[in-house]
């Protein structure tokens, strides 16, 4: 028991990853598998599942499937979980898989059916539920709700003494939301904090996600995005490559952007990441339909910026913003901001 508590402290503090791996490999059990997941030792975590009781092993195997690029397999396994003690975690991880699969409405219904649509502070596994719900809100374009969920997730984890971004990268997720909502300085500060914490822990996924957030909140630096891409795998890598395509477009290399979006869309469809496939396809279409200025203004409008704020940020007149938005609505066949928000394929 002492080793388990020590292992938990090492993981929660986000330090001494090598020592955490050693302890997890010798200790075995539920938390050892989680610790190995957080450490990026997926092969060892899979092997350790043999030492976990049957009632819990399905949830762990599902999460491992999700981490290794099989969201459909993860969802199928999690739908079979019946243990009430694992309900919160199973629902959270199922929502994460369903979001990747583009089953957004079904994921929202699942949360509501289990009573996880409101405040979650006193619910077991609340941080995981908040993180999954935040990702779902973000995928649906509900950026303020996503930001609020990630912020509350961070508050709960901090209260529990969890500083390690490998457990849940809430700062990186909130950072991107803040950036999309026009709070660039807040987003950049959160991303920098996550990056520092990820470097202390040292797992490739945590560092890749944090690097991706830093790149996104600092104006989509293509070099940083390529660094993040090299660290990431599966769904995380697809999301990073999507943002890299947008960065290439913003730098003026539209041909490279369209080629990369095509590759992202094809890879996402083959792996079952249907949300990303749809976003890549939609973004590619928008590269053809909209000018660069129209895409920028449409993205800001979609994030909830008023016309006046957009005009101030872009250093143009209010009339120019209105002109561009009218053109956007006409080209995309939408009736206004409400319909624009529902469209996929804008910056993540």
* pLDDT score recorded for residue 55: 79
Judged by phi (left if over 0) then psi (alpha if -120 to 50, else beta), residue 18 lies in alpha
* pLDDT score recorded for residue 67: 98
* pLDDT score recorded for residue 252: 80
Tens digits of residue pLDDT in 251-307 = 888 899 999 999 999 999 999 999 999 999 988 888 778 888 898 898 888 778 899
* pLDDT score recorded for residue 202: 98
pLDDT at 75 over 70: yes
In whole angstroms, give the CA distance from residue 212 to residue 301.
23
pLDDT at 65 over 70: yes
In whole angstroms, give the CA distance from residue 318 to residue 111.
41
345 confidence band (pLDDT: 50, 70, 90): low
pLDDT at 1 over 60: no
* pLDDT score recorded for residue 44: 96
DSSP for 266-294, written as a single string: HHHHHHT-HHHHHHHHHHHHHHHHS-HHH
In whole angstroms, give the CA distance from residue 124 to residue 87.
9
pLDDT at 342 over 70: no
* pLDDT score recorded for residue 347: 47
Tens digits of residue pLDDT in 151-161 = 999 999 999 99
**Is residue 210 within 8 Å of residue 186, measured between CB atoms?**
no
* pLDDT score recorded for residue 166: 98
The residue count of the chain comes to 348
pLDDT at 19 over 90: yes
Residue 45 Cα to chain centre, angstroms = 22
* pLDDT score recorded for residue 149: 98
The alpha carbon torsion through 285, 286, 287, 290 (nearest 10 deg) reads 140
Q: pTM (2 decimals)?
A: 0.89
In whole angstroms, give the CA distance from residue 218 to residue 244.
13
In whole angstroms, give the CA distance from residue 274 to residue 289.
22
Tens digits of residue pLDDT in 131-181 = 999 999 999 989 999 999 999 999 999 999 999 999 999 999 999 999 888
């Amino acid at each position: 028991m002492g080793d388990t508590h020590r292992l938990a402290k090492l993981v929660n503090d986000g330090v001494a990853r090598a020592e955490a791996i050693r302890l997890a490999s010798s200790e075995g059990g539920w938390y050892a598998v989680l610790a190995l997941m957080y450490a990026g030792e997926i092969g060892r975590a899979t092997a350790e599942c043999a030492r976990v009781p049957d009632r819990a092993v399905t949830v762990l195997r599902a999460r491992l499937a999700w981490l290794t690029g099989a969201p459909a397999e993860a969802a199928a396994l999690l739908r079979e979980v019946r243990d009430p003690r694992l309900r919160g975690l199973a629902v959270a991880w199922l929502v994460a898989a369903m979001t990747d699969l583009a089953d957004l409405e079904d994921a929202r219904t699942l949360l509501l059916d289990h009573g996880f649509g409101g405040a979650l502070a006193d619910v077991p596994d609340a941080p995981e539920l908040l993180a999954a719900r935040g990702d779902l809100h973000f995928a649906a374009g509900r950026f303020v709700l996503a930001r609020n969920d990630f912020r509350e997730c961070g508050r709960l984890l901090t209260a529990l003494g969890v500083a390690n971004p490998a457990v849940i990268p809430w700062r990186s997720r909130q950072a991107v939301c803040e950036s999309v909502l026009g709070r660039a300085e807040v987003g950049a500060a959160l991303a920098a904090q996550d990056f520092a914490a990820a470097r202390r822990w040292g797992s490739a996924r945590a560092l890749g996600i944090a690097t991706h957030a830093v790149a996104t909140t600092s104006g989509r630096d293509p070099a940083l995005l390529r660094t993040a891409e090299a660290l990431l795998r599966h769904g995380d890598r697809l999301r990073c490559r999507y943002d890299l395509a947008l960065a290439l477009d913003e730098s003026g290399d539209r041909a490279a952007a369209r080629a990369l979006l095509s590759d992202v869309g094809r890879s996402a469809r083959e792996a079952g990441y249907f949300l990303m496939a749809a976003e890549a396809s939609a973004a590619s279409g928008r590269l053809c339909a909209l000018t660069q200025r129209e895409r920028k203004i449409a993205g800001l409008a979609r994030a909830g910026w008023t016309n006046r704020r957009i005009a101030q940020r872009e250093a143009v007149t209010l009339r120019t913003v209105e002109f561009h938005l009218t053109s956007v609505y006409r080209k995309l066949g939408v009736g206004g901001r409400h319909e624009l928000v529902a469209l996929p394929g804008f910056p993540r």
